[in-house]
Homo-oligomer: A and B are copies of this chain.
């Protein structure tokens, strides 16, 4: 029997997947979690064989949970996400995920992935993997990504500068470099693009 922990902040999909997985004869859903912190706590307590982690969750996201569990619990993490971009896949693998599945796949395929991962294999969605190979890593430098992140909700230059302990001019310079590299003309467009590609 494969013991599975299921974490997703959307109650509807969580309950639906739990019900379906319980119908499988060899899978048992031993815990459900609605956010990252709950997932970590439950995983530590119950030591499930496989953790199914949604990427977008309040507090800790799926990748952060994977990272924590990998250091503390002998379990294998599968990251499930709506926005399956190469950048996201990279972050998940770097955090030690054993599986990566986009939510565009069917629930049925999920059970198959769980079995393979429980058996010790790694599983990465082939389509995203192909994208990731033919795609270069973020053309932005670390500092540029920092600035983008700090400004993702429309913060002003001065606020970003304070939060990163920089001169306002420096922030503007980084932003300017980003805009040039991404071929856009406003911060907001740069943020949208970077979010879409999983760079921040």
Contact = CB atoms under 8 A, between A and B. Distances in A.
Interface of A: 10-13, 15-17, 19-20, 80, 82, 103-108, 110, 153-156, 184-192
Contacts of A188: 153-154, 187-188, 191
Contact of A12 (B105, B186, B189): B105
Which of A12, A15, A19, A191 has the most chain B CB within a 10 Å cutoff?
Answer: A12
B82 A10 contact: yes
A10 B186 contact: no
Contacts of A185: 156
Given A16-B17, A20-B16, A11 B153 contact: no
B11 A13 contact: no
Could you tell me the dominant secondary structure of chain A's interface residues? helix
A11 B106 contact: yes
Contact of A103 (B12, B103, B191): B12
A107 to B, nearest CB: 4
A123 B11 CA distance: 19
A184 B12 CA distance: 33
9 contacts: A10-B82, A11-B106, A12-B13, A15-B108, A19-B107, A20-B20, A154-B184, A154-B189, A188-B191
Contacts of A103: 10-13
> 3 closest A-B pairs (Cβ-Cβ)?
A154-B188, A16-B107, A15-B106
Nearest to A107: B16
A153 to B, nearest CB: 6
Nearest to A21: B16
A103 B11 CA distance: 6
Nearest to A103: B12
A90 to B, nearest CB: 22
